[in-house]
Amino acid sequence: MQRTLKQLAEWLGLEFRGEPSLLIEGVSTLEMAGANMVTFLANPKYKDQLPGTRAGAVIISPEVPYERACLISRNPYADFTKVVGLYAPPIPRPAPGIHPLAVVHPEAHLGQDVAIGPFCVVGAKARLGDHTVLTAQVFIGDDTVVGDHCIVYANVVVRERVAIGNRVIIHPGTVIGADGFGFAPVGETYAKIPQIGTVVIEDDVEIGANVTIDRASLGETRLGQGCKIDNLVQIAHNVTIGPLTVIAAQTGISGSSKVGRHVMIGGQAGLSGHLTIGDHAVLGAQAGITRDVPEKQFVSGYPARPHTESMRQLAAVARLPELIKKIQRLEARLQALEEK
């Protein structure tokens, strides 16, 4: 696909600078883009990379000075996402139908134009909504509901009595509805606590690869509308996550914690059980959350504390070698004075 710089600007509804007839043939990063490609700069702190780019044009915010061809955007990342979709359209959807190597229980209910790939298993009384796709080797348990326009990629397991909304994307290897970690000490052994609850995934959620979302012991584990979950995230039993929350890779959330709406959780964060995280809170990468976090607060470190306080403590720790040497010098001077 080819578009001129002017055509691309008109399609995006943006102002531009540069030669209107410049052909744009693809997209890439600042480092890799060629003379007929468009790239973007979302964070002004990386503007020092601009002189080295060979990109034909850059989508850039008006606050960043740039003399070469560019498209002026208030949200460069979002506009670049649109351009990616233009030059790299999505992979075609599989044709509707049931592959001959799939196993679909006769009591399952399939909506219109469902596509079920090879080696998939759909259990008794399971329901798949209209235009939903199971790519290959997907397991859908008995009495589970998957909504309309969902895409479930290879090797996903959705166990029995789980409810998944509309337009949900589940990436390979994810397991939804496995038993929660519930065991009662009995002498020197442990008795398994039956995990008889469910998992509810609301509309427009995207779940990364190899995520585990445990069913509730009683009641439900719930992910709110529009949540985005990165790869390798563990969500334990009876956790509730509010709408539009985003969780980065390798985060673990212990049982019965309640995470508010529009929360941002950085990679490798760990949350203890039975906590409450307020709306619009930000949990920094590798934060160890051991107590409730108020709404709109940014916390980091272990144990997590307000981010500015955590940064001050880290700065103080970095000065410890220097402070130890200073104390040693003062001790030596004091000893010399005492000897006199």
Just list the catalytic residues. Answer: 237
The vertex-67 CA angle with 63 and 72, nearest 5°, equals 45
Within this chain, do residues 51 and 174 fall inside the same structural domain, yes or no? Answer: no
Which long-range contacts (C-beta less than 8 Å, at least 24 apart) are formed by 15-21?
Answer: 15/71, 15/72, 16/57, 16/69, 16/70, 16/71, 16/72, 17/66, 17/68, 17/69, 17/70, 17/72, 18/57, 18/68, 18/69, 18/70, 19/69
pLDDT band for position 271 (cuts 50, 70, 90): very high
pLDDT at 56: 96
Q: What is the CATH number of the domain that holds 282?
A: 2.160.10.10
Within this chain, do residues 70 and 192 fall inside the same structural domain, yes or no? Answer: no
pLDDT at 88: 85
Among 87, 122, 144, residue at a domain's last position: 87
Cβ 83 vs Cβ 59: under 8 Å = yes
pLDDT band for position 16 (cuts 50, 70, 90): very high
Query: pTM to 2 decimals?
Result: 0.89
pLDDT at 46: 87
The CA distance from 127 to 123, in Å, is 9
Within this chain, do residues 15 and 149 fall inside the same structural domain, yes or no? Answer: no
Of 25 and 90, the one with more pLDDT: 25
pLDDT band for position 45 (cuts 50, 70, 90): confident
pLDDT band for position 247 (cuts 50, 70, 90): very high
Of the chain, the end-to-end C-alpha distance in Å amounts to 87
Mean pLDDT of all residues in 82-98: 90
How high does pLDDT run on average in the chain? 96
Give me the helix-helix angle, 76-87 and 5-12, nearest 10°. Answer: 120
Within this chain, do residues 256 and 315 fall inside the same structural domain, yes or no? Answer: no
Q: In this structure, is residue 178 part of a structural domain?
A: yes
The CA distance from 73 to 42, in Å, is 10
pLDDT at 89: 77
Within this chain, do residues 275 and 290 fall inside the same structural domain, yes or no? Answer: yes
Mean pLDDT of all residues in 269-274: 97
Q: In this structure, is residue 228 part of a structural domain?
A: yes
How does pLDDT run across 147-185, given as a tens digit for each residue?
999 999 999 999 999 999 999 999 999 999 999 999 999
Mean pLDDT of all residues in 102-115: 98
Q: In this structure, is residue 175 part of a structural domain?
A: yes
Asked if residue 1 has pLDDT above 90, the reply is no
DSSP assigned state of 175:
E
Q: In this structure, is residue 145 part of a structural domain?
A: yes
Within this chain, do residues 145 and 201 fall inside the same structural domain, yes or no? Answer: yes
Structure tokens at 323: 């402070």
Q: In this structure, is residue 289 part of a structural domain?
A: yes
Lowest mean pLDDT among 101-110, 244-253, 328-337: 328-337
Cβ 106 vs Cβ 89: under 8 Å = no
Within this chain, do residues 171 and 106 fall inside the same structural domain, yes or no? Answer: yes
Mean pLDDT of all residues in 62-68: 92
Q: What is the CATH number of the domain that holds 48?
A: 3.40.1390.10
φ, ψ dihedrals at 333, nearest 5°:
-65, -40
Helix, strand, coil shares, percent, the chain, to 5: 20, 30, 55
Among 30, 52, 87, residue at a domain's last position: 87
Q: How far is it between the farthest Cα atoms of the chain?
A: 98
Q: How many domains is the chain built from?
A: 3
The CA distance from 119 to 79, in Å, is 39
DSSP assigned state of 266:
-
Range of the domain at 334: 310-339
pLDDT at 44: 86
pLDDT at 228: 98
